[in-house]
Amino acid sequence: MLTQVPQQAATLLIAPTGAGKTLSGFLPSLQHLDEFPMEGLHTLYLSPLKALTQDIHRNLLEPVEEMGLAISIETRTGDTPSHKRQRQRRKPPNILLTTPESLMLMLSYADADKIFGKLNTVIIDEAHSLVANKRGDFTTLALARLQAYAPTMRRIGLSATVAEPPLLAGWLGETGEPAHVLQVDTPVKPDVRMLHSEARMPFGGFMARYAIADIYREISKAGTTLVFVNTRAQAELVFQMLWEENHKGLPIALYHGSLSKEQRRKTENLMATGKLTAIVCTSALELGIDWGNVDLVVQVGAPKGVSRLLQRIGRANHRLDEPSKALLVPANRFEALECQAAIEAISNNELDGERPQPGALDILPQFIMNCACSAPANPQIIYQQVLNAPPYQGVDRLTFDKLWQFTVDGGYALQAYDRYQRLIKSDDQCWEPASKRVIQRHRQNIGTIVEAGRLKVKRIRRANQGKIIGEVEEHFAQQLVQGDTFYFAGEVLRYEAIRDMQVHAKPAKGGEPKIPSFSGGQLPLSSFLADRVRALLENPDRWRTLPEQVQQWLALQQQFSVIPTQQQVLIEQFEYRKMQVSLYYTFEGRKANQTLGMLLTKRMEKMGLKPMSFSVTDYGLSISALRRIDETQVAQLFAPDILGDELEDWMLQAPMLKRSFRQVAVVSGLTEQRYHSNQKSMKQVTFSTDLIYDTLREYDPDHVLLAVTRADAERELLDLSRLADLLIRFVGKTRLINLDKPSPMSIPIVLNVRSEQVKGAGAHALMEQADLYAEADAMLDEVRALLAGKQ
Amino acid sequence: MAVSNSEWLSEKLRQAQIVAMRFADKTWLLDARGVAYLPHKDLLVVSDLHFEKGSYLGHYGNPIPHLDTRATLSRLNRIVEDYNPGTLMCLGDSFHDARGVERMARDDLNTLTQLISRIDCWQWILGNHDPQIPEQLAGERLHRTQIDSIGFCHEPEPDWPQCQYQVIGHFHPKVKCRVGRYPVKGRCFVMGDKYFVMPAFGQYTGGLWIDHEVMQPLVPKASRRCFVMQDERIFAV
């Protein structure tokens, strides 16, 4: 490593967790700085997690001090106090540990060229977590900009094992110059097993209550355990349930992204010093942080992806020569299939990987503005820098120019007047921000993560005294009434009031505590794992490795309905909660199911079946309607003939597109992220981006942001051409089975609460039923009489 | 005009695009497009137009499209065609800020002028955003006005003993609730025993949840009625 790195412009080091790759990434820099001491910034370390920078800082300071090296090392994140940031700008340390967002902010300073001019190396940690997402696209643009300031800068990427290293290498290097790959293989396979519980395993649900006693037993046997769950709500509940079970009083802690910084820091320190037996955590603890001695990883709920699971398992036992130990705990019987599929994939050394996608275009206006904030920007030069970021190598000049124009003045066809530009010409070729306000607004909104509005939670001790312990989403806080209790930060709190945009709550006992939900908590299943589940299902010989109860469940499904196969699309129909539910086992993944759901409900609406809502999982699609479907209607539903212009137009009105536009609007700088700390009670000053979307569609349909939104949505949806293929494959292969009640296999899908509402006749019918104004007719006679004289 | 055509009205009611309701001992028509019509007085009420909010936000570096005035006007135009009211009352905050009219596109200003000239009696109730209406625009300027025992003003006026009832704007009410199992969310008309709060009409206007502490005293939960607009329809909830 030491000898190879200096000659390469970009190097990708792939090694399993625990191989010490982070420190080896720093070795060339430490050696170089020792030989040639310098003032100013030599090495920049980028981590996707703030917490990781702290941890690496600690781990790096120790050896540097022991070796007596005169090298300055500092961290810089959103949490860094402003006086320290000021100093870092004037006198940068040799090694700076930071995040992509903080880097972009530094790149917007007028002295960015001075800060980064002497940069020798940039280290990108956990590079695998940045491929194929907006944050990764954002990072490549920052790197392209850095490279322009420091043309000889080397890039070192550090990554966990990935399915296709060349793809990641292409992402890491400059366009056309993929990184050189150094791969360290895993010497031992992890020891992964699935829990076979004596307790009754539920058909549906996601909380794994049945298995808590088993999990507790494993924790007390194992020593130090990390219990991974998939959502923050699960974390709160599993933590509560474990404490109810905790007769021995073991030190078990809770860790997720909505807890306050202080709380998280405290837990991290306790863990680092070996004072905790277990932590219940979300993906917030998935990356990098080295705990030393973790004996066991428990995964509660479906693993969702093999690479992700391996990353989590890798948190256990940071010694390369011993296998990591892991226990998978499916929350319901369907998840057991997924667990089994993942275990088989691991033992066959097969990984899933996300393919790189073209870079998200909504980040470009942000990048353009960022460049203009630091120095007058020339479109030609910025365009070249954009092309130098691999995800953006295919951006054509026309699109770039439209995005540039959007950044300058909004780029609207029907501009009533043009007095308010964001960028103005500083000379013939260059543009600069029109005012300080523009710069300030941009700097406050750097980044790609768009979050739901949040409120801080203040734990009240007496009077209004207390401390902030974390955040909940606004929509959750709004549904609370005084006296409600909820789980948060591992205890039961009683809601008092919302004051000064904070949720005031007191520690309490009893009640029926609610669990805060957090949007965006759901992890998507990799299509690789979905395929493996389907294969497992189709082959009854392979069921024997599954827990007894799961086998019984599959046998029950065989008796009650049928097992879905690859040859046929099974459709089950039954009545559930006064709705006619039709369930389509497509096994096509969430993306395809989402698009299919939009299409099928659109058709059902036309056919008068009054669809109300649909919900998707990775395995199937469930539609609730007021009317039943019959055989001939099924054939009609799947006929691939209405994929025309009408559909295209309808797609643009779909809620999915509005959702994408919400993100695009914030990232591109059209609107601002709503920060509650800046906002007082009267809320009607902010309005939904849906209104802007509707206005644009009507009055400026060719606007570039609408095209960007469409492209963005297609990352989430299946594009129409692939949907057409899918429908053609389904023709004549559907099998409708009418049932008296939900089949065993349908339960987890039916219980999925995240459903998409369908607007249309069904909804209107329901709402009209609720219209209690029976005297309406009498009122109307009166109105008619009054209006008769008006002509 | 359409509204005096009994069939047109029946169809609108059947489609739930208009509902009839009673307030202050009078029958009102609430239109799903966000206006209220009082047949007794041939009066159309619209509130919180917030003309030129888009260009106002432009000051602060927001590059949002300044097409809101155009959209608001064209929506209002279509409604006026249907009702052709003797009186059209804008219940305050018609302009988002005092200098809004200066930024208005010529086309839009023409549209507005023509619209005003079509109506016999155009009334501007003044609001907190528009304490003055630009001189070049016709129409009556009023801080508040009274019809029978109903007061019309932008913000609630607790010390107005002659008015047992008040129709107000200002709050931009919106509601989120369930009808059966179906979640509904949208701008709404909301009324209690005394106050009738109009929804905001402007294209770029946000909303305030009717459960918010600011609105609770005006339309207490126990006695309030609410009509939500969603998907071009209006429903009592």
Q: How many domains does chain B have?
A: 1
Q: How many domains does chain A have?
A: 5
Count other Cβ atoms within 10 Å, centred on residue B128: 10
Q: Is A82 exposed, middle or buried (0-12, 13-18, 19+ CB in 10 A)?
A: exposed
> Which residue of chain B has the CA closest to A433?
B61
Beta strands in A376-464 (DSSP E): 423-425, 431-433, 454-462
Claim to verify: residue A581 and residue A680 sit in the same structural domain: yes
DSSP state of A779: H
Claim to verify: residue A125 and residue A225 sit in the same structural domain: no
Query: How far does the CA of residue A257 sit from the closest CA of chain B (Å)?
Result: 28
Condensed to tens digits (0 to 9), the pLDDT of residues A632-651 reads: 999 888 877 766 655 666 67
pLDDT of res. A140: 97
Closest partner residue to B183 (CB to CB) among A412, A757, A788 is: A757
Query: How far does the CA of residue B4 sit from the closest CA of chain A (Å)?
Result: 5
Claim to verify: residue A319 and residue A399 sit in the same structural domain: no
Tokens 């106002």, located at residue: B56
Tell which wins on pLDDT, A301 or A290: A301
Tell which wins on pLDDT, B217 or A595: B217
Q: Look at residue A482 and give its three-state secondary structure.
A: coil
Return mean pLDDT, chain A.
85
Averaged pLDDT for residues B9-15: 85
Sheet of A621-625: strand order equals A734-738, A569-576, A579-585, A621-625, A611-616, A756-757
Averaged pLDDT for residues A116-145: 93
A570 pairs with which residues across the strands?
A: A585, A735
Query: Of A659, A623, A561, which Cα lies nearest the Cα of A752?
Result: A623
Claim to verify: residue A497 and residue A594 sit in the same structural domain: no
Range among A2-16, A339-353, A766-780 rated most confident: A339-353
Claim to verify: residue A668 and residue A623 sit in the same structural domain: yes
pLDDT of res. A241: 92
> Which residue of chain A has the CA closest to B227?
A771
Angle, helices A134-149/A100-107, rounded to nearest 10 degrees: 40
Judged by CB atoms closer than 8 Å, whether chains meet at A776 and B61 is answered as: no
Q: Which of A347, A378, A401 is the last residue of a domain?
A: A347
Q: Which of A783, A784, A786, A791 to mutate to test binding with chain B, by most B CBs within 10 Å of its CB?
A: A783
Instruction: Provide, as residue numbers in chain A, all residues whose Cβ is less than 8 Å from the Cβ of B184.
Output: 767
Q: Which of A346-360, A399-413, B78-92 has the lowest mean pLDDT?
A: A346-360
In a domain, A726, yes or no: yes
User: Band of the pLDDT at B190, cuts 50, 70, 90?
Assistant: very high
**CA A427 – CA A430 distance, rounded (Å):** 6
pLDDT of res. A645: 57
Q: Is A578 exposed, middle or buried (0-12, 13-18, 19+ CB in 10 A)?
A: exposed
Claim to verify: residue A664 and residue A633 sit in the same structural domain: yes
Instruction: Provide, as residue numbers in chain A, all residues whose Cβ is less than 8 Å from the Cβ of B213.
Output: 681
Instruction: Provide, as residue numbers in chain A, all residues whose Cβ is less than 8 Å from the Cβ of B4.
Output: 787-788, 790-791
Tell which wins on pLDDT, A707 or A499: A707
Enter the tokens of residue B217. 């005293």
Kindly tell me if the per-residue pLDDT of A466 is higher than 80: yes
Judged by CB atoms closer than 8 Å, whether chains meet at A407 and B21 is answered as: no
In a domain, A355, yes or no: no
Q: Look at residue A699 and give its three-state secondary structure.
A: helix
Give A577's contacts (C-beta < 8 A, 6+ positions apart). Answer: B181
Averaged pLDDT for residues A324-353: 90
In a domain, A539, yes or no: no
Tell which wins on pLDDT, A386 or A764: A386
User: Band of the pLDDT at A754, cuts 50, 70, 90?
Assistant: low
Condensed to tens digits (0 to 9), the pLDDT of residues A261-276 reads: 888 888 888 888 889 9
**CA B11 – CA A773 distance, rounded (Å):** 17
A308, A174 contact by CB (below 8 A): no
Q: Which of A383-392, A500-509, B88-97, B136-145 has the lowest mean pLDDT?
A: A500-509
Closest partner residue to B20 (CB to CB) among A613, A757, A783 is: A783
Judged by CB atoms closer than 8 Å, whether chains meet at A780 and B39 is answered as: no
Range of the domain at B213: 2-236
Query: Of B106, B41, B119, B124, which Cα lies nearest the Cα of B77?
Result: B119
Query: How far does the CA of residue A507 sit from the closest CA of chain B (Å)?
Result: 24
> Which residue of chain B has the CA closest to A407?
B63
Q: Which of B60, B109, B111, B221 to mutate to test binding with chain A, by most A CBs within 10 Å of its CB?
A: B60
Instruction: Provide, as residue numbers in chain B, all residues whose Cβ is less than 8 Å from the Cβ of A772.
Output: 236
Judged by CB atoms closer than 8 Å, whether chains meet at B206 and A773 is answered as: no
Query: How far does the CA of residue B65 sit from the closest CA of chain A (Å)?
Result: 7
Averaged pLDDT for residues A376-384: 97
Condensed to tens digits (0 to 9), the pLDDT of residues A673-713 reads: 654 434 444 445 567 788 899 899 888 989 999 999 988 88
H or E stretch at A372: helix A363-374
In a domain, A216, yes or no: yes
Query: How far does the CA of residue B81 sit from the closest CA of chain A (Å)?
Result: 13
A452, A474 contact by CB (below 8 A): yes
Q: Which of A183, A218, A233 is the last residue of a domain?
A: A183
Claim to verify: residue A239 and residue A120 sit in the same structural domain: no
Q: Which of A25-29, A90-94, B9-13 has the lowest mean pLDDT?
A: B9-13
Kindly tell me if the per-residue pLDDT of A610 is higher than 50: yes
Range of the domain at A470: 454-507
> Which residue of chain A has the CA closest to B14?
A768
Query: Of A105, A86, A598, A705, which Cα lies nearest the Cα of A360?
Result: A705
- Report angle CA A121, A124, A129 to the nearest 5 degrees: 170
Claim to verify: residue A460 and residue A429 sit in the same structural domain: no
pLDDT of res. A681: 40
Q: Which of A678, A693, A703, A787 to mutate to test binding with chain B, by most B CBs within 10 Å of its CB?
A: A787
Averaged pLDDT for residues A434-453: 84
Kindly tell me if the per-residue pLDDT of A496 is higher than 90: no
Closest partner residue to B236 (CB to CB) among A478, A670, A771 is: A771
Tell which wins on pLDDT, B223 or B237: B223
Judged by CB atoms closer than 8 Å, whether chains meet at B208 and A415 is answered as: no
Kindly tell me if the per-residue pLDDT of A187 is higher than 90: no
Condensed to tens digits (0 to 9), the pLDDT of residues A189-205 reads: 889 999 999 999 888 77
H or E stretch at A550: helix A548-560
Claim to verify: residue A567 and residue A691 sit in the same structural domain: yes
Query: How far does the CA of residue B217 sit from the closest CA of chain A (Å)?
Result: 15
Count other Cβ atoms within 10 Å, centred on residue A213: 15
Q: What ipTM was estimated for this complex?
A: 0.88
Claim to verify: residue A413 and residue A461 sit in the same structural domain: no
H or E stretch at A579: strand A579-585
> Which residue of chain A has the CA closest to B56?
A420
- Report angle CA B229, B149, B94 to the nearest 5 degrees: 45
Tell which wins on pLDDT, A308 or A340: A340
pLDDT of res. A339: 94
Kindly tell me if the per-residue pLDDT of A5 is higher than 60: no
Judged by CB atoms closer than 8 Å, whether chains meet at A699 and B206 is answered as: no
Judged by CB atoms closer than 8 Å, whether chains meet at B204 and A780 is answered as: no
- CATH code of the domain in which B22 resides: 3.60.21
Instruction: Provide, as residue numbers in chain A, all residues whose Cβ is less than 8 Å from the Cβ of B9.
Output: 780, 783-784, 787
User: Band of the pLDDT at A418, cuts 50, 70, 90?
Assistant: low
Return mean pLDDT, chain B.
91
**CA B199 – CA B205 distance, rounded (Å):** 10
Q: Report the sign of the C-alpha dihedral through residues A694, A695, A700, A704, in that order.
A: negative
Interface size, chain A vs chain B, as Cβ–Cβ contacts under 8 Å = 169
A132, A41 contact by CB (below 8 A): no
Claim to verify: residue A284 and residue A314 sit in the same structural domain: yes
In a domain, A83, yes or no: yes
**CA A475 – CA A464 distance, rounded (Å):** 23
* Amino acid code (one letter) for A60: L
pLDDT of res. B60: 72
Judged by CB atoms closer than 8 Å, whether chains meet at A763 and B180 is answered as: no
pLDDT of res. A274: 85
Kindly tell me if the per-residue pLDDT of A291 is higher than 90: no
Instruction: Provide, as residue numbers in chain B, all residues whose Cβ is less than 8 Å from the Cβ of A790.
Output: 1, 3-4, 42
Kindly tell me if the per-residue pLDDT of A520 is higher than 60: no
Claim to verify: residue A411 and residue A463 sit in the same structural domain: no
**CA A460 – CA A439 distance, rounded (Å):** 38
Judged by CB atoms closer than 8 Å, whether chains meet at A767 and B63 is answered as: no
- CATH code of the domain in which A97 resides: 3.40.50.300
Judged by CB atoms closer than 8 Å, whether chains meet at A698 and B233 is answered as: no
Kindly tell me if the per-residue pLDDT of A775 is higher than 80: no
Q: Is B221 exposed, middle or buried (0-12, 13-18, 19+ CB in 10 A)?
A: exposed
In a domain, A308, yes or no: yes
> Which residue of chain B has the CA closest to A761?
B15
pLDDT of res. A308: 85
Tell which wins on pLDDT, B55 or A729: B55
Judged by CB atoms closer than 8 Å, whether chains meet at B60 and A437 is answered as: yes
In percent, the amount of chain A with pLDDT more than 90 equals 40
Averaged pLDDT for residues B30-41: 95
Tokens 């056309």, located at residue: A176
A158, A130 contact by CB (below 8 A): no
Give A500's contacts (C-beta < 8 A, 6+ positions apart). Answer: none
In a domain, A780, yes or no: no
